[in-house]
Chains A and B, each alone.
Chain A
Amino acid sequence: MGRTIPSITLAFLEEQDSLKRFRRALRKADQQALDDLLAAARQHLAPAGYAAYPLPLETFLLAMLLEEHKEVMRLRTMVESRDRE
């Protein structure tokens, strides 16, 4: 009988598609940064699907923030270990 609610991947692609105009108007370097954020959000599609929020964009944005924070933590660790040397 099949699925009716779009899969979380499809829902993500729809949200990504809705950003087309915004992306187009960005400078090229900023477009690449946006693409990085979108790719980051894709790391966490399964939890987004499981969370089953009516507005999945909220979880995609949270996923982007999560990856950004991980990157900050990674850089912090790197800087701190360099400072110690």
Chain B
Amino acid sequence: MKLRGWLFDIYPAGQDGAAIWLIGEDGKRYQFLQPFPLTFYAAGPLHRLRDLWRFLSRQDKPPMLSRTERRDLFQSGPIPVMGITVGDQESLQGIFLKTQSSFPDLDYYDVDLNLALRYSARYQTFPLALCDLETEGRQIKAVTPLETPWEMDSALPPLRILRLEPDSDPNHSQPARLEIQYGRASYTLPLDPARPLLMDLNAILKQYDPDLILTRWGDTWLMPHLFKLSRDANIPILFNRDRSQEVAILDERSYFSYGQIVYRGQQVHFFGRWHIDSNNALLYQDFELDGIYETARVTRLPVQTSARVSPGTGISSMQIITALQQGILVPWRKQQGERFKTALDLIHRDQGGLVYQPLVGVHENVAELDFVSMYPGLMVRFNISPETAGETAGDPENLAPFPGDTPGLVPQTLAPLLEKRLKLKTRIRTLSKWDIRLKSDQARATAHKWLLVTCFGYLGYKNARFGRIEAHEAVTAYGREALLRAKESAEGLDCTVLQLYVDGLWIKHAGWKNPGDFVPVLDAIIGNTRLPIVLEGVYRWIAFLPSRQDQRVPVPNRYFGVFQDGTIKVRGVEARRRDTAQFISRAQMEILEILARAQNAIELPNYLPLVKELIRERSMDLKAGRIPLEDLIISQRLGRELEGYKKPSPAARAAHQLIQTGKQVKPGQRVRFLLTRGLPGVHAWDSQVPLDMRSLNIPLYSELLKRAIHAILQPLGLSQHAIFQASLFK
């Protein structure tokens, strides 16, 4: 039978190989099976490989063995390897464990790869790809994708979405009802009694047959709660379309990433159907479903996985695809170390991006110029890759590419992603705000941005399979050169450079205020660097802020300003910090919105009376208890296990309160609390212990408010005293 449809899901199906779900063009949902042998490789001295051959041949179910040559990225030529092929994932794991424990001296490759990635590399498919299938019964005989992940516009299949959401945040209070929405139906059901709820859910699953179940708190509360109800009532819930599988539950975990502890909640995955928890889906707030679908397409990871993994895993998957397609071995354990370099070389190379100290104060008619996706662009343009940049430092001062007959693995991986992102960004600039493509384009461009932003850090990540510190350092070296050339280009045209920050610069020029005035600078930079750079905008005025502790000392990433179209841009102040109470963020933004009416820096003082009035009102609101408690919540991450604190932070103290009420708090999780008088100084928001309103530490909130206000008004020449004088804060 010939069939056309969208690839929906793929996962291991035991001895049947791979289970593949398709949404047909005819609207039906199909499940197929396809034998899909899996191969891993062993490399080492020939006599040891011979020993391995003999060892494996003697096994009860001996795998298929082959001798071949493959490329190890970190070695100069192809290496002889033994291929060990089995029929399914479980067999691969079993035979690998035996092999590795008996032959720990050998190197292993292509061991722990997601089946979806292997499949994608073999057949050039990807999630939601439109494909032609040739089938015989339930077996796939051939699959041909009709598109690539790099199309600008691909038709999505018509997905059926069921939304489930408890009626309250389970971290804060026990939900009583479940909100259900699918098609045109929208209603709520009580969570107790369980029986009618479970029967209703099963009826929806059977009749509506959703492709996607979109939840809030699904991974961490709703699904576990429903499973418990199901067990207690002895009524199975038919979440999986594939009844031969059990729902997959992945444990929560905390781990270190870039020096910070990160918490990942438990995950609940279905088979033949997707479950996405918008609260547990990374970056969901930034790009919602369109972004998740796009991430799945370009990384080739299944949609449920794509929604939850970090961008680092996404980039790693893309690299693995490139490697598999090129016949490059994917190392099981990252072993590549740093080549010895002199201590002097280390001083020169172990630097990050160029981060200047800005010229503190308020400036007018300032242009912000940003290199487009600078680091990924450098990797592609100058062929910076683990196998090219490992042996020499390259030639950053001449911006000369690393030599190579073909582009390296990393440039090959990033090039199509960069190209698609640039095309999308270009198109977004031309779309009106009512164009139906705008939201999707923005979501997809954001998904690309996160992947691209991560790829540099991933290049230097210790566990990255294709990471290499020398390549990571090369990127920063080329970046520093590009930024310096940009500075020189701007100064060559008599611009004053106010600030430089890794991939962007802020400049002004006497007499220039329109975007068109700055075009010669852009052209000069492009000419001198051969890298794309764009004008982010021209600020009517912008204030670069000094350090809070010492006003003589500039701080790199703390500023606010207004573009000519009235848009406000803020960095590094309270309004941008996740641990600031909403009330304070809002007050700061309200002040900025007033000041944003000023057409230039000279007009700014004219707006101070309005600002002072606002400050007076907000201060009185705070003292009179008119601020909703939700707006006073502070949210901070727990940086370590509670026992690890010598002097507990406010978050740690709040976490302790939660634990006393029987809740669990893991390192990396955010803890929400209010500030209270006396000890312990905090009241955990989610402890469900009632708060005595008199204990709220209004003076401390007032102090935080004053600090936030001072951050905005100080550049206008107002001293702390002038801002904090009694008449302002009565």
Contact = CB atoms under 8 A, between A and B. Distances in A.
Interface of A: 1-5, 7, 36, 39-40, 42-46, 49-50, 52, 54
Given A39-B550, A42-B553, A5 B462 contact: no
A52 B347 contact: yes
Secondary structure call for the A interface: helix
Given A36-B552, A54-B344, A1 B354 contact: no
Contacts of A39: 550, 552-553
B357 A44 contact: yes
Interface in B443-480: 460-462, 467, 469, 472, 480
Interface string B345-379: 01110111011110000000000000000000000
Contact of A49 (B351, B467, B554): B351
A1 B460 contact: yes
Contacts of A3: 350, 352
A50 B351 CA distance: 8
Nearest to A40: B552
Given A39-B550, A46-B356, A50-B480, A1 B472 contact: yes
A2 B259 contact: yes
A5 B550 contact: no
Interface in B218-275: 259
A7 B357 CA distance: 14
B307 interface: no
Interface in B138-196: none
B354 to A, nearest CB: 6
Contacts of A5: 346-347, 350-351
Given A1-B472, A50-B351, A54-B344, A43 B461 contact: no
Given A43-B357, A44-B357, A4 B350 contact: yes
A45 to B, nearest CB: 6
A52 B351 contact: yes
Contacts of A49: 351, 354
A42 B554 contact: yes
B505 interface: no
27 contacts: A1-B462, A1-B467, A2-B460, A3-B352, A4-B350, A5-B346, A5-B347, A5-B350, A5-B351, A36-B552, A39-B552, A39-B553, A42-B357, A43-B357, A43-B554, A46-B354, A46-B355, A46-B356, A46-B357, A46-B500, A49-B351, A49-B354, A50-B351, A50-B480, A50-B484, A52-B347, A52-B351
Contacts of A36: 552
A50 B354 contact: yes
B478 to A, nearest CB: 14
Contacts of A50: 351, 354, 480, 484
Nearest to B550: A39
Nearest to A56: B347
Which has the most chain A C-beta neighbours within 10 Å: B346, B347, B472? B347
Contacts of B259: 2
A53 B571 CA distance: 31
B132 to A, nearest CB: 44
Nearest to B347: A52
Contacts of A43: 357, 554
Contacts of B346: 4-5
Nearest to B484: A50
What are the nearest 10 A-B pairs in CB distance?
Answer: A39-B552, A5-B350, A46-B356, A1-B460, A52-B348, A1-B462, A1-B469, A52-B347, A42-B553, A43-B357
Interface string B470-498: 00100000001000100000000000000
Contacts of B462: 1
A7 B354 contact: no
A4 B345 CA distance: 12
Nearest to B472: A1
Contacts of B347: 5, 52, 54
A36 B550 CA distance: 11
A67 to B, nearest CB: 10
A52 B352 CA distance: 12
A70 to B, nearest CB: 12
A1 B350 contact: no
Nearest to B344: A54
B457 to A, nearest CB: 10
Contacts of A2: 259, 460
A44 B356 CA distance: 8
A8 B480 CA distance: 15
A39 B347 CA distance: 24
B191 to A, nearest CB: 46
A36 B551 CA distance: 11
A45 B357 contact: yes
A36 B344 CA distance: 31
A85 B97 CA distance: 90
A2 B467 CA distance: 12
B357 A1 contact: no
A19 B153 CA distance: 62
A1 B461 contact: yes
Contacts of A54: 344, 347
B436 to A, nearest CB: 44
Contacts of A44: 357
